[in-house]
């Protein structure tokens, strides 16, 4: 199976506007590494034993199903790293914070948008049967689950990048000639940081 098809169990995070400060509170963002943040995911909320992360019925979940405006707020990439480290491969939401969305793509965490109705049906399905599998078909842009389907919405070029597993920096460095040309034509009046000023 290629990267255009993914399947797994879901976990319903029945909430809108989950900001990145909730996904990983700032005080947990001190490890200078990309890995090792799974234990910090929802650091404050998981103090509550009834929080969905502790529900054994969802312990095998690899797909997080959240509401709308998921992961707005701080630019911290820790939010993506923590979700991935915890074991999620996909986040389905009605909409995402801009920076998180981009961070997720770069880090190979698949951010999928779907409709409000789709989210609610997924929440219902996961509530009724926590072990019902979710099938994501990127090629046909559809999410299939017990009792329904919903569109899998993803920007086209992100989709391609995800399916082909492409790395941004290597791609950009192929265009280094264009960057050289652009730079050569930049105005000499633009600011540089070489003469930093000791403003008093």
Binding flag, residue 1, another protein (CB under 8 A): no
Rounded Cα–Cα distance for residues 124 and 145 (Å): 11
Nearer to another protein, 1 or 156 (CB): 156
Q: State the nearest-atom distance from the C-beta of 61 to another protein, in Å.
A: 22
Binding flag, residue 50, another protein (CB under 8 A): no
Please identify, among the stretches 56-64, 69-77, 84-92, 139-147, the one whose residues bind another protein according to the rule CB under 8 A: 69-77
Please identify, among the stretches 49-57, 91-99, 129-137, 144-152, the one whose residues bind another protein according to the rule CB under 8 A: 91-99
Asked whether the CA dihedral 24, 21, 60, 98 is positive or negative, the reply is negative
Binding flag, residue 184, another protein (CB under 8 A): no
The H or E element containing residue 65 is strand 61-65
> In the chain, which ranges are continuous DSSP H helix?
20-23, 78-86, 98-106, 116-128, 156-164, 168-173, 176-184
Rounded Cα–Cα distance for residues 161 and 66 (Å): 23
The answer for residues whose C-beta is within 8 angstroms of residue 190's C-beta and 6 or more apart is none
Binding site for another protein (CB under 8 A): 15-17, 19, 21-22, 25-27, 29-30, 32-34, 44, 67-69, 72-78, 80, 95-100, 102-103, 106-107, 155-157, 168-169, 171-173, 175-176, 178-179, 182-183, 186-187, 189-200
């Amino acid at each position: 199976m290629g990267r255009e098809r993914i399947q797994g169990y879901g976990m319903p995070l029945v909430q809108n506007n989950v900001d990145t400060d909730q996904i990983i509170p700032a005080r947990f963002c001190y490890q200078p590494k990309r890995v090792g943040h799974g234990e910090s995911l929802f650091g404050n909320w998981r103090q509550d034993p009834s929080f969905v992360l502790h529900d054994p019925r969802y312990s095998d979940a690899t797909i997080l199903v959240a509401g709308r405006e998921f992961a707005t707020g701080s630019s911290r990439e820790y939010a993506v790293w923590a979700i991935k480290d915890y074991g999620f491969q996909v986040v389905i939401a009605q909409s995402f914070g801009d920076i998180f969305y981009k961070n997720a793509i770069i880090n190979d965490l698949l951010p999928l948008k779907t409709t409000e109705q789709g989210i609610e049906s997924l929440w219902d399905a996961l509530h009724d049967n926590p072990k019902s599998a979710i099938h994501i078909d990127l090629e046909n842009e559809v999410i299939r689950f017990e009792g329904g389907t919903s569109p899998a919405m993803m920007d086209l070029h992100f989709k391609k990048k995800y399916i082909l597993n492409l790395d941004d920096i290597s791609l950009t460095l192929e265009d280094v000639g264009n960057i050289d040309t652009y730079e050569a034509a930049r105005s000499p009046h633009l600011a540089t940081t070489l003469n930093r000023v000791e403003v008093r």
